[in-house]
A and B are shown apart, each in its own frame.
Chain A
Amino acid sequence: MEILKIEHLKKSYLIERAFEKPSEVEAIKDLSFTLHKGKTLGLVGESGCGKSTLAKILTGLETKSAGNILFRGKELAHYSKAERIKLIQMVFQDPYQSLNPRKSAFEIIADPLFINEPNLKNSEIKERVYSTMQDVGLDQTLSHRYPHQFSGGQRQRLGIARALMLRPELLILDEPVSALDVSIQAQVLNLLVDLQRKFNLTYLFITHDLSVVSFMSDDILVMNRGLCAEYGSKENIIFNPQNEYTKLLLKSSPGAN
């Protein structure tokens, strides 16, 4: 089932510099793809390709310049902010910066509930927080600790738990394991796969690591300078790439052979 359909998305920024005419920078030139429920689309690209801009547009931090974004057939901009928050959520890259250092783990995870479901009783909130912590493999006795008392992998789990609290349908994962040690990466990736199966989540998995994207994705979209270089099923992209840029990426991946 199609859950997200992007058609000819464009996004340009106006850069104003003192004493110069304002210039236009096209972060996304023309992008089209589809996400199916319960599946993972791996978004691969290097810096400047537009993947962070795409994440910002989908989460509402930026507005698109042109094109259609259809969530379950309805234009995303037509959903209210409150509705959109419960549909699309995000897990961030930096396990150190993405958690407020002054809040306890419990407060961080419960925040989305505090903000969006103010009528919940404290006991209900506690129950949901603890159950989500269990889902991501964190012991509930750790809930009173502060971020600096957790390891990188545990912090990412906190970030995932927080993103799951509102039971979103689509989860955007922005390089979720890039800042982690290799032995921890595997733990978190396995967790993400489990969660996807358990809750029928749809993932937009942004990364630069082709091996990780190969493991996680059903379909892959390769972005280069705001355009789609190649788009297809994982098998096609990894084992039968057509585009030169895709081939270059595959060749450059260290030890991918």
Chain B
Amino acid sequence: MRWMWIDRVIAFEPRKRLVAVKNVSLAEDHLHQHFGPEGALPACPVMPNSLILEGMAQTAGILVGSVHDFREKVVLAKVVSAVIERDINPGETIRYDASIERLDDMGASTVGIVDRFSFAENAWAPVGRIELMFSHLDQNRAGVEFPEENFVFGENFRTLLEGAGLRKAGVSRPA
């Protein structure tokens, strides 16, 4: 199953930076599975760190993919470091702020800052920092515009890109 772990792109500087947000809701099943009810550990309905990592990988992955208009297959190759220092609770918003540190034909390294907005505190607070490396699986520069196989997240992902102005709805630019 392929899930989207970001809700919306809120800032985009081509080749440099992409910022996305996700609202964490108690209606989401994964919060209830973290942990229990049948597990040995007590229920702890917070956003799992592994999925925070995935959210950052999606944010940074879109940024890296956008550099070559999604012609390259971009794969997460390495979690260089991931430090998460605070829980993110239901009713809070996660902000993923990803920047490209280095990019070439072979791949890219990114640095990402994770923050959370708490309505109870009415403030953003730092949650952690995640450094990733992406690899360009093949260097398909001459490939067609937005080849289907390079999108692993389906229609919702396209809608998200269109909403961010990263992809024009239903329009394919001439090669």
Q: Do A and B bind each other?
A: no
Interface positions of A (Cβ within 8 A of B): none
